[in-house]
Structure 1
Amino acid sequence: MHPYRFSVRVSRTFILLILGIAGASGQRSAQAQTYHVTDLGTINTNTGVISSHPTGINNAGQVSGYSYSGTSNHAARFTNGLVEDLGVIPGGEISTGWGINGLGDVVGDSQYSVNGGSIRHAALFRNGTVTDLGFLPGWGNYARANGINNLGEVVGHSGTSLDTNVTHAFIWDEMNGMRDLGTLGGAYAKAFSINNSSKVTGRADTGGGFGSNFHAFIWDAAGGMRDLGVIAGSSSSGNFINANGHVVGWSSIAVDNRRHAFLHDGTTMHDLGAIGDNDFFTDRSEAYGVNIHDVVVGTTYRPYQGGAAYAIAFVYRNGEMLDLETLVDASGADYRLYTATGINDAGQIAVDAIKISTNQSRAVLLTPTGTATPAPTPVPTPTPVPTPTPNITPSPTATPMATPTPSITPALTPTVTPAPSATPGSTPTPIATVTPEVTPTPIATATPSAAPSATPALPPAQPLNISTRARVQGGESALIGGFILTGPNPKQVIIRALGPSLGANGMIGALADTTLDVYDASGQLLISNDNWEDSQRAQIEETGVAPSHVLESAIVVTLSGNSAYTAVVRGKNGEPGIGLVEVYDLGLAANSKLGNISTRGLIEQGDNVMIGGFIVGGNAAERTRIVVRAIGPSLSGLGLSNALLDPTLTLHDSNGSVIGTNDNWRDANQPEIAAAGLAPADDREAALFASLAPGAYTAIVAGKANSTGVGLVEAYHVQ
């Protein structure tokens, strides 16, 4: 949640009127990441007000925010080109979304009144339902939810109005309801963000006089509320907390109320500076998001040149604050980027923008296209401020809670992973944009039916081969496999599309001729192949895993690390049949790994079920914790037709013995799956948790009672 969003928007129109559309300034850093800009769309696409605004982003690339519905603003979730109107509390007309968790749940506020009116209550938008979270007793009848974690814990503020400081911070969960988090000794507080370890940040009154001494805080159930201090001056605000417990926000830097973005690393508050040099008008910045690599985003200003100040979105990494407008490719030419509202662990950034050609407000997503290394960001040395002695003064109304088991943000969520319809000649959206080097990481897969002629040697605990077999048809029923390379270095891989060799091994109905297309995270086609011998024959043969049939497809390619990719397998000329998509790691020495597999395809009966394989590496005495999921019903929520309505899941070892079966995920291993942040969105979907020894395993996804449809199989390594 971003507490000063409205102040930025109020000034936006004035800036455009005075300056027009200013050109980008500043030099692009030689080490800077570059980005592709995607317009996330709007709810209303007809006439009148057409606008959207982002407020947060999760690791699957889903963005929370709000958009004009045609009559008023509604909370919205933006997912792979789909804009979802999340609705309102019954009886209301207006809602906003302010935060999102790894499961795609959005929180915000909604107008509440059976007779209309302006009263707002905190709201939870989940699975098509709007839940009224009410307000904090004794603190007015207005409330706003600003953040939510994967455990379903919600934080926000409640008071007699939402946009003043006369509020108290709250935490809410289904079991305990809404409780007061207290203050830092004064009268008021707001909570803006909560991580999966149930640590909260926001700002609270220290008791030094109304409105003049609000400090950023961190709160947990064990220690209560602790003051994070200031850079200088008298005020600060904690706007977001990452998985490491590091907080970003703003702090005063002098008595004249100028603010700078800060990063608090758990010990020290570091001043991140501002792009606008040292003049009074533009020496200002505020941070709204930080990922696990301590890459920070927010808003600042270009150096003052007269007229109105020019607000810009920034990214801060490797000790440098950069103007995001100078880092985008040609896709960003029609957009003015003024506030970055969040960043996920894969480096995707949600940005509030102006579409220049129409002068409309737009939520946009920036996806990395360069090769920057997401190492932890070194923070600058100036103005270190030691953390003050904790001032633990929880409100008498706050109920201490046991700290929940830390949850792990999933790299993929069931509402995001499927790609849109993939038709011959079209460019499909990648299955997901996933998180490098953050657990749980989907692990690699092995071929479940036709074994390759050779397999590279297995290093300890490193994925080598991912594969999934399913029936291939046209449109939505193409076989679509998504994977990422985690780690900073480029890696050489071979990607194969098999069909005819499956038939040679006795598979009835195998594809007679395959084609293979590989796309990057932006949907850009990188390389294609029909018959593997037509190009790269010598290079493919050197790998030892050349396909055994000339009509099968294969590609050897070196791909950038910390990036997502999609491999699409089709039958040539649209012919249907059973096919196999595989990816092998050929660069074992590189500082990056193959991982994060999620494959979508058509699930039928008999040999036409979906079969996903994976290999667990490591020493014989080691055990690896795995969550395997079978997703179907939740795909319908993204407009996918013919989704599998009730999947079943069976996990086998390399001898064919059954390790576990599941129909509905809540029936088995529910605590482990939920604690890992991997609970499916629909109770009919299947999931298994297992602690596995090194070896090869096979996951089979079928439709209950022989039902058919498009489904998704996923494997996660939970550390």
Structure 2
Amino acid sequence: MNPPTGASLRLISLVLALAGPMTDALAAPPGYQVELLPVPRTGAYATTASAIDNSGVVGVNYANLKNYIESAAYLCTPAQCNAIPRLHEYPKFPRNSVYALNDAGVATGSSDDLMGEGFAGHGYLYDGSNLVRIPGFDQDGCGGCSLESVGYGINASGHVVGTSRTAKSRTRAFFFHDGLMLEIGYLGGHDSAALGINDSDQAVGYADVGGTDDIHAFLYRNGRTKDLGTLPGGNYSAASAINNRGRIVGWSNLAQNGLMVPILYKKGTMAALPMLDGATWGKALALNEADWVVGETEVAAGERHAFLYDGHSTYDLNDMLTADQRAEWTIEQAVGINDLGQIAANGRHRTSGAVRAFLFSPVAAGAAR
């Protein structure tokens, strides 16, 4: 990740206060200021965070719950949300999503676009003013058009990984840079997806393993794809993110077709992360350069809690809420953590069931929450 740019005085103060503790895991997590991110629209809707950059900007997706089709993408801080434009304004049920950000303020995701005489979703690069289309793989016989694509990860150079459909309706992982689409992540099977990329163009995701029913996490680097395998006894794994130190997080099962547990892969070894007490499954979704990991677990039937792992212990993000916040919200999923320790998360209202995006910002010991 690039060093933070354009940070507010509040964030600069956080860096100074936490510069020592963030270099190594703490015995206990710092206190957090928990903020509900702004609501960009009104009506029956959900807002979900998808990513966070080092200046504390959060990618937020809006979904209209009346038609379950209309969606919009925003870049949000606690002060305001700015909309990401669409590649094409389809008037009836417009769709737009954001899935990843880099520290230069460039976003990627999926947006409405024209394809031949119809509509499709294509990945994009958006730097705050310019919107660039990421084509899917070429489709034979359609006059130069391309199939659907989605950008799921972006690095400091603006290189993007994600998925694109093929002419045979398969889904394949791609690496997009300098206008070129490269297929990656092939493990001998039919389908694959790339979910994360670091500044060295190392990409991770998951793919079908040829000749089996297995799905395995993969690492793509220097033009080659490596099968990362699974935890002992498992047949399914996926890698969701990789940092600049080459550490990888994701999830794997422990037995064939069994429940998933969060994993950390480093130095050639995959290990399960400790889960919250009583948790039955979990997924690690993101990590920062200090190897702090966030994700989600199920702690009871139908009840999910977001977690933070600091290298020694796993903490429930709900324990970081004030009493009033905890009475109103359950934080179910943490989707991103930056190098300031800020966390992008999603919570569900205990009464209405509404889902909203949250920002967790660490505060110095003894500071007001």
Relative to its length, the structure with more strand (as a share) is: 2
Tell me, in whole angstroms, the C-alpha distance in 2 between the residues paired with 1:12 and 1:80: 22
Contact 1:49 1:68 in 2 (8 A): no
Contact 2:331 2:345 in 1 (8 A): no
Which position in structure 2 is the counterpart of 1:474? none
Contact 1:240 1:247 in 2 (8 A): yes
Which position in structure 1 is the counterpart of 2:360? 316
Contact 1:301 1:310 in 2 (8 A): yes
Tell me, in whole angstroms, the C-alpha distance in 2 between the residues paired with 1:377 and 1:249: 27
Match of 1:239 among 277, 285, 308: 285
Match of 2:94 among 31, 43, 50: 50
Mapped pair 1:296 → 2:340: no
Contact 2:95 2:112 in 1 (8 A): yes
Deviation at 1:35, TM superposition (A): 2.1
Deviation at 1:301, TM superposition (A): 1.3
Written as runs of structure 1 = structure 2, the 5 A alignment for 1:435-454 is: none
Deviation at 1:89, TM superposition (A): 1.4
Match of 1:38 among 71, 77, 82: 82
Deviation at 1:193, TM superposition (A): 0.1
Contact 2:185 2:206 in 1 (8 A): no
Match of 2:104 among 57, 60, 65: 60
SS in 2 for 1:273: helix
Deviation at 1:270, TM superposition (A): 0.8
Amino acid at match of 2:174: A
Which position in structure 2 is the counterpart of 1:262? 307
Mapped pair 1:80 → 2:112: no
Tell me, in whole angstroms, the C-alpha distance in 1 between the residues paired with 2:172 and 2:220: 13
Match of 1:95 among 129, 143, 149: 149
> Is the alpha carbon distance of 1:97 and 1:377 closer, same or farther for their aligned partners in structure 2, counting shifts above 3 Å?
farther
Match of 1:187 among 227, 231, 235: 235
> Is the alpha carbon distance of 1:316 and 1:40 closer, same or farther for their aligned partners in structure 2, counting shifts above 3 Å?
same
Deviation at 1:39, TM superposition (A): 1.0
> Is the alpha carbon distance of 1:10 and 1:72 closer, same or farther for their aligned partners in structure 2, counting shifts above 3 Å?
same
Match of 1:226 among 271, 278, 291: 271
Amino acid at match of 1:146: L
Following TM superposition, the consecutive aligned residue runs of length 4 or more in structure 1 with deviations greater than 6 angstroms are 375-378
Written as runs of structure 1 = structure 2, the 5 A alignment for 1:376-455 is: none
Q: Deviations over 1:216-273 (max 9, x none)?
A: 1111234x1011021022211110111111111111223x141111111111111101
Amino acid at match of 2:89: T
> Is the alpha carbon distance of 1:17 and 1:153 closer, same or farther for their aligned partners in structure 2, counting shifts above 3 Å?
closer
TM-score, with structure 2 as normaliser: 0.70
> Is the alpha carbon distance of 1:44 and 1:243 closer, same or farther for their aligned partners in structure 2, counting shifts above 3 Å?
same
Tell me, in whole angstroms, the C-alpha distance in 2 between the residues paired with 1:146 and 1:153: 11
Tell me, in whole angstroms, the C-alpha distance in 2 between the residues paired with 1:107 and 1:240: 15
Amino acid at match of 1:228: L
Match of 2:160 among 106, 122, 125: 106
Contact 2:293 2:308 in 1 (8 A): yes
Tell me, in whole angstroms, the C-alpha distance in 2 between the residues paired with 1:157 and 1:54: 20
Tell me, in whole angstroms, the C-alpha distance in 1 between the residues paired with 2:106 and 2:123: 13
Tell me, in whole angstroms, the C-alpha distance in 2 between the residues paired with 1:291 and 1:60: 14
Amino acid at match of 2:343: V
SS in 1 for 2:279: coil
Q: Deviations over 1:347-388 (max 9, x none)?
A: xxxxxxxxxxxxxxxxxxxxxxxxxx7x6999x9xxxxxxxx
Amino acid at match of 2:193: R
**Rg comparison, structure with higher value:** 1
Written as runs of structure 1 = structure 2, the 5 A alignment for 1:252-651 is: 252-254=298-300, 256-273=301-318, 277=326, 283-305=330-352, 309-318=353-362
Deviation at 1:206, TM superposition (A): 1.6
Deviation at 1:166, TM superposition (A): 5.3
Instruction: Using the aligned pairs only, state the percent identity.
Output: 24
Deviation at 1:183, TM superposition (A): 1.1
Tell me, in whole angstroms, the C-alpha distance in 2 between the residues paired with 1:11 and 1:211: 32
Amino acid at match of 2:194: A
> Is the alpha carbon distance of 1:237 and 1:376 closer, same or farther for their aligned partners in structure 2, counting shifts above 3 Å?
farther
Tell me, in whole angstroms, the C-alpha distance in 2 between the residues paired with 1:268 and 1:86: 40
**Higher RCO structure, 1 or 2 (CA under 8 Å, sep 6+):** 2
Contact 2:185 2:219 in 1 (8 A): no
Q: Deviations over 1:39-68 (max 9, x none)?
A: 111100354543210001111111111101
Tell me, in whole angstroms, the C-alpha distance in 2 between the residues paired with 1:131 and 1:60: 23
Deviation at 1:204, TM superposition (A): 0.6
Tell me, in whole angstroms, the C-alpha distance in 2 between the residues paired with 1:278 and 1:252: 19
Which position in structure 2 is the counterpart of 1:665? none
Q: Deviations over 1:286-343 (max 9, x none)?
A: 01111111110121112314xxx2110011123xxxxxxxxxxxxxxxxxxxxxxxxx
Which position in structure 1 is the counterpart of 2:74? none
Tell me, in whole angstroms, the C-alpha distance in 2 between the residues paired with 1:155 and 1:191: 6
Tell me, in whole angstroms, the C-alpha distance in 2 between the residues paired with 1:83 and 1:169: 31
Structure 1: which 5+ runs fail to align?
A: 19-32, 319-372, 381-719
Match of 2:296 among 241, 250, 260: 250
Contact 1:54 1:63 in 2 (8 A): yes
SS in 2 for 1:104: coil
Tell me, in whole angstroms, the C-alpha distance in 1 between the residues paired with 2:331 and 2:80: 27
> Is the alpha carbon distance of 1:47 and 1:13 closer, same or farther for their aligned partners in structure 2, counting shifts above 3 Å?
closer
Contact 2:100 2:154 in 1 (8 A): yes
Amino acid at match of 2:262: A
> Is the alpha carbon distance of 1:259 and 1:109 closer, same or farther for their aligned partners in structure 2, counting shifts above 3 Å?
same
Match of 1:146 among 195, 211, 216: 195
RMSD of aligned alpha carbons: 3.1
Q: Deviations over 1:168-222 (max 9, x none)?
A: 10001134x1111111111110000000011000001122x6242x111111234
Tell me, in whole angstroms, the C-alpha distance in 2 between the residues paired with 1:377 and 1:56: 33
Deviation at 1:13, TM superposition (A): 4.0
Contact 1:219 1:226 in 2 (8 A): yes
SS in 1 for 2:330: coil
> Is the alpha carbon distance of 1:173 and 1:11 closer, same or farther for their aligned partners in structure 2, counting shifts above 3 Å?
same
Contact 2:125 2:131 in 1 (8 A): yes
Deviation at 1:78, TM superposition (A): 1.2
SS in 2 for 1:198: coil
